[in-house]
Structure formats: C-alpha cells, structure tokens
C-alpha cells in the first residue's frame, strides 16, 4: 500500500469509570456465578458508569489524559473521529460534545458507528486525513457506555460488557513507521445476530419498544463467537501475509476483547503465545469501541511495546464488521 505520508500513533490514553462491578455483584442481579463467567468469558470485573456519566464524559477524560501525555495544545487538533454505538444522543454527534469540552477550537469531527470494530475503522479513517497531508493532528477516540443498553435480565449478554474509553493521537510519520496497512470488511448478513432494534427510525421509541425490551443489546452469542474466531484469525493472517511478515515478526497482537476464549482460539490459530497477545478482558469486560485503545494503553504502560515493534490490531463486531490495522510502533 502506498501512502503519500504515513500516519503514526504518537500517544495513547484511556479512561474507565471508577465504579467496579464484579462477578459477585452480578450474582445478586441475575442467575449466574463467578465461576461460569470466569470460565466461559475470562471476565472477573468490569467498570460501570455512574448515572449521569455518558460516552462523551469518558471520551473527554481519555482525551484530556492524552493531551497531557503528548503535551498537545487542544487548539492544534484538526479533526476528531469518535467511534461509538452508544452516543450521548442521536445528535449532536458525541465528537462535537468532546470538541467543546476539550477546547479543540479549530477541529471538526464526527461519530463513526462500527460497533466493536469502531476504533479500528476510526483509526483508518483518521489516518487518511494525515496521509492526505491536509490534517496534522487527528484525535481518534473509542468510547462506549454499554451498560446503558444492557438488559440485566439477559444473563448471557449482561455479564459480557463494561464501560470505557480510549484515545490516540495521529500525526505524520516517516515512511517505515506508523500505520503500514489496513483491511476492513462488512458482512451484513451478520446483522441478525447482534443488534439493538429499538429507538431508531425503524422502531422509534414507544411504550411498545420499551415493553418488548427492544432498546437493549440482542445477540445470538454462539453465532457471534464462531464468526469472531474465524474472521479475527483470517484478518490477522491476511495482513501479515500481504505485507511479507510471519507471526515471528509480530511483537504484539491487540485483539478486540469480547471473550477470552475468542482471543485464545484466535491466537492458537495464529500460533502466538500469550506474551504476544494483549488480553485485559478480565478487568474491563467488553467495552466495544474502547477495547483497542485500552489494550494499547495497557501494553505501553506495561512496557510490552517499543519503538519499531510490529503491532497488529484485529476486531470483529456487530454488522458484522471486521477490522485489521498493521503498524510499526513509533515511540
């Protein structure tokens, strides 16, 4: 792939709300057990937003931490691409709320909806503006308040998700660093297996949509599970092969965190040992667009990634959407 200018990540930060919901807490709400959740999903606890805390608030906290870390003046930001499926409101876009709160006076921005692939999609979209040479500093944010759309009577779904946000800064890179390649696809036939039907233009909010619990996440878990394992490993192999790399060249796989069994099955297919795979689902659950930047943040904080390392992001989400971004870590 020939970019005129490559885009590189120059900083990453994250935010999770302080309140923790453990599996033991869930045992009090639905018929489940810590043992079932741990063995079937790998999740031990997740963070949940307090009433009044929304996607924009978490995104703002993550972004403020990022601006401080990278010593960036908010007035320098040119563009904000914010991935979410749980915006504060239908409109204005959550990106606009964040723009105002952080004082990014010059930036334009928009929200992007690709569910659990949202951050990977947003990273690629943001990178295009850097590569075009028209934008110098692009903020890419993934933020979701999944607890706002969870049915706490549906035990197979409510135990999986948590709330959280992460953000990265994209800037121009030298030709051998930053984003090397990406690939994304959509398989709309997957729409039947993971969706939230109520409150949109097809089923506007009404007493009926509430009574039928249509404003919550619905899923066929086993269908999603099989698709995710197959496509995450296919996407990872595709991007490595296409760019002439093998699994041995890879320093770190940063997969979407939906279920630890999906992550382990994916890495097994790729022949990667645990030291090369980010897995933090035990602490956060599935934060949808938040998982990838939170994973990158944890990897940086734990000293698992350094300048020059080959890093591969892979995601699968509702849609179905699949994403992959291959990058040479730049700091």
Ligand X SMILES: CC(C)(COP(=O)(O)OP(=O)(O)OC[C@H]1O[C@@H](n2cnc3c(N)ncnc32)[C@H](O)[C@@H]1OP(=O)(O)O)[C@@H](O)C(=O)NCCC(=O)NCCS
Give contact residues for ligand X (rule: CB under 6 A): 32, 36-37, 40-41, 116, 155-156, 159-160, 194, 219, 221-222, 224-225, 258-259, 286, 317
Closest alpha carbon to 82 in 104, 114, 54, 53: 114
Q: From the CB of 219, what's the least distance to ligand X, in Å?
A: 5
The verdict on whether 256 is a catalytic residue reads yes
Q: In 3-state terms, what secondary structure has residue 11? A: strand
Angle, CA of 51, 12 and 88, to the nearest 5°: 30
| Dihedral sign computed on CA atoms, order 209, 215, 216, 218 | positive
Catalytic residue among 23, 259, 280, 286: 286
Residue at token pair 């040992």? 273
Which two three-digit tokens encode residue 257?
A: 């965190």
> Nearer to ligand X by C-beta: 280 or 286?
286
Q: Give pairs for 198-205: CB < 8 Å, separation 24+.
A: none
> Nearer to ligand X by C-beta: 36 or 331?
36
The verdict on whether 96 is a catalytic residue reads no
| Dihedral sign computed on CA atoms, order 90, 45, 268, 308 | positive
> Nearer to ligand X by C-beta: 32 or 128?
32
- Is residue 149 within 8 A of residue 218, CB to CB? The reply is no
104/91 Cα distance (integer angstroms): 19
Q: From the CB of 32, what's the least distance to ligand X, in Å?
A: 3
> Nearer to ligand X by C-beta: 116 or 330?
116
Q: From the CB of 286, what's the least distance to ligand X, in Å?
A: 6
> Nearer to ligand X by C-beta: 292 or 310?
292
Residue at token pair 């110098």? 136
Q: From the CB of 117, what's the least distance to ligand X, in Å?
A: 8
190/315 Cα distance (integer angstroms): 15
Residue number closest to ligand X, CB atom:
221
Catalytic residue among 47, 57, 238, 256: 256
Q: From the CB of 53, what's the least distance to ligand X, in Å?
A: 22
Catalytic residue among 47, 116, 135, 158: 116
Catalytic residues: 116, 256, 286
């Amino acid at each position: 792939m020939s970019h005129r200018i490559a885009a590189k990540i120059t900083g990453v930060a994250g935010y999770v709300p302080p309140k923790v919901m453990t599996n033991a807490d869930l045992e009090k709400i639905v018929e489940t057990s810590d043992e079932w959740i741990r063995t079937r999903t790998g999740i031990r606890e997740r963070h949940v937003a307090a009433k009044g805390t929304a996607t924009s608030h978490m995104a703002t906290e993550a972004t403020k931490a990022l601006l401080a870390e990278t010593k960036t003046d908010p007035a320098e930001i040119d563009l904000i691409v914010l991935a979410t499926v749980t915006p504060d409101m239908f409109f204005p876009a959550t990106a606009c709320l964040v723009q105002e709160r952080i004082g990014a006076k010059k930036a334009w921005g928009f929200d992007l909806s690709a569910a659990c692939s949202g951050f990977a999609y947003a990273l690629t979209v943001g990178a295009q503006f850097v590569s075009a040479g028209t934008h110098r500093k692009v903020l890419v944010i993934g933020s979701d308040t999944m607890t706002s759309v969870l049915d706490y009577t549906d035990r197979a779904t409510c135990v999986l998700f948590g709330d959280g946000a992460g953000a990265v800064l994209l800037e121009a890179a030298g030709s051998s660093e930053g984003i090397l390649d990406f690939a994304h696809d959509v398989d709309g036939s997957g729409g039947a297996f993971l969706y939230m039907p109520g409150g949109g233009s097809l089923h506007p909010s009404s007493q009926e949509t509430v009574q039928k619990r249509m404003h919550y996440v619905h899923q066929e878990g086993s269908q999603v599970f099989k698709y995710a394992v197959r496509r995450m490993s296919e996407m990872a192999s595709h991007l490595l092969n296409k760019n002439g790399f093998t699994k041995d060249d890879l320093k770190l796989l940063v997969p979407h965190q939906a279920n630890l069994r999906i992550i382990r099955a994916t890495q097994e297919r790729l022949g990667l040992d645990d030291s090369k795979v980010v897995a933090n689902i035990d602490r956060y659950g599935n934060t949808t667009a938040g998982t990838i930047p939170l994973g990158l943040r944890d990897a940086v904080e734990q000293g698992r990634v350094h300048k020059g390392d080959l890093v591969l992001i892979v995601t699968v989400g509702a849609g179905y959407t699949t994403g992959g971004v291959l990058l040479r870590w730049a700091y």
